[in-house]
Amino acid sequence: MLKVLVLLQIAALSTYDDLRAARHSERGSVTTEHVLWAVAVIAIVGIVVAAVTSYVQTQSGKIK
């Protein structure tokens, strides 16, 4: 029984160390994700602005 408890403690500690190491390796991931979302939003807004501008120019050319 003692061997099982020791093995469980070792497994728990090694899992904790793995989680702590993983957390440290992902430190900048939130910032990177925010930057990627910002770039995506800017690209979508640019596409919408280009489409609206093109539509307005086409319609203004039809004015007599």
pLDDT > 90? residue 32: no
For residue 58, what pLDDT is reported? 94
For residue 41, what pLDDT is reported? 94
63 Rama sector, left if φ>0, alpha if ψ -120 to 50, beta otherwise: beta
Confidence class of residue 4 from pLDDT cuts 50, 70 and 90?
low
| Phi, psi torsion values for 27, nearest 5 degrees | -60, -45
Summarize the confidence of residues 32-61 as an average pLDDT: 92
Summarize the confidence of residues 34-51 as an average pLDDT: 93
Summarize the confidence of residues 3-18 as an average pLDDT: 66
For residue 59, what pLDDT is reported? 94
Percentages of the chain per state (helix, strand, coil), in multiples of 5? 90, 0, 10
